[in-house]
Amino acid sequence: MPSPFPGMDPYLEQPNFWSSFHFRLIGAIAAAITPQLSDQYYIEVELRTYQTEGDNEVLIGIPDAAILNRQSVDRLPIEPQSATALMTQPETVMLPMMESVRERYLEIRDIQTDAVITAIEVLSPKNKQAGEGRNAYDKKRRSILESATHLVEIDLIRAGKAMPIVSNRPPSAYRILISRSPDRPAADLYALSLQTPLPTIPIPLKPEDDDIILDLQAVFNRIYTEARYGMRLDYKEPVPPPALLADDRQWLESIR
């Protein structure tokens, strides 16, 4: 069963689906481009880790007294001091805990020198939220842009703040950026809506070598089929947040 969307499926942006989809996408991209690489190159799956607090920094639980002792409290005569006494009883709260975040990305490397020729990043929600996730990725991104390494940045998450570019174009649901090191600060931007199939994009290599090609829509379709998302996603539910852009909302309403 194919996705009802021509390109990226916003229902996969739900937290309970995104992590698996991201993992599958990284692997599928590597599988799609490896056969196109000459013996001068290899692909490495790299791991970026950092510590961050959970999304809910403080969660307040329901007081134990309100759950366990509700009937007995209702039956007791209320003394003038009883309200104050109840206030002294402990309630269950949740403490902010640090979690270890692991993000995978791809590097195309020179097989002789191990030099990184091209970095391929698929952004995660934490890369677009204020905090350690964005700080870690922003530091990595700036390091790449100041080097001789090409950058392919794939953003298939609508939520959060997009990574900075210098452009007057209106926002889009999804973005793919290709930054070739000799052309900086200029870069190629693919601005995508829900109505847009995922593009076939070039992956730059060394100056003397031709680009290889990544058909992102074919990769997506393969993942969608293999993971059986069509049988697992509930399309009767509203599109997960954030709210759709006006053009995408009107288009979706017109086909439902």
Q: Which of 115, 144, 157 is nearest to 48 (CA)?
A: 144
pLDDT of residue 87: 62
CA 72 to chain CA mean position, Å: 49
Q: Which two tokens stand for residue 122?
A: 């698929």
Whole-number pLDDT of residue 33:
97
Q: Cα dist. 86→66, 71, 75, 77, 255 in Å?
A: 10, 14, 15, 14, 56
> What are the pLDDT tens digits along the chain (256 aa)?
789 999 999 999 999 999 999 999 999 999 999 999 999 999 998 877 766 665 533 322 323 333 333 343 344 444 555 555 556 788 888 777 766 667 888 999 999 999 999 999 999 998 998 888 899 899 999 999 999 999 999 999 999 999 999 988 889 999 999 999 999 999 999 999 999 999 999 999 999 999 999 999 999 999 999 999 999 999 999 999 999 999 999 999 888 7
Specify whether the CB–CB gap between 26 and 45 falls below 8 A.
yes
Coil, strand, or helix at residue 239? coil
| 100 vs 111: CA distance, rounded Å | 31
pLDDT at site 89: 81
Q: How many helices (H) and strands (E) does the chain have?
A: 8, 10
- Write down the residue that tokens 């209320």 correspond to: 78
145/151 Cα distance (integer angstroms): 8
pTM for the whole thing? 0.80
Exposed e or buried b per residue across 188-198, where buried means at least 16 C-beta atoms within 10 angstroms of its C-beta:
eebebbbebeb
Supply the pLDDT for residue 50. 64
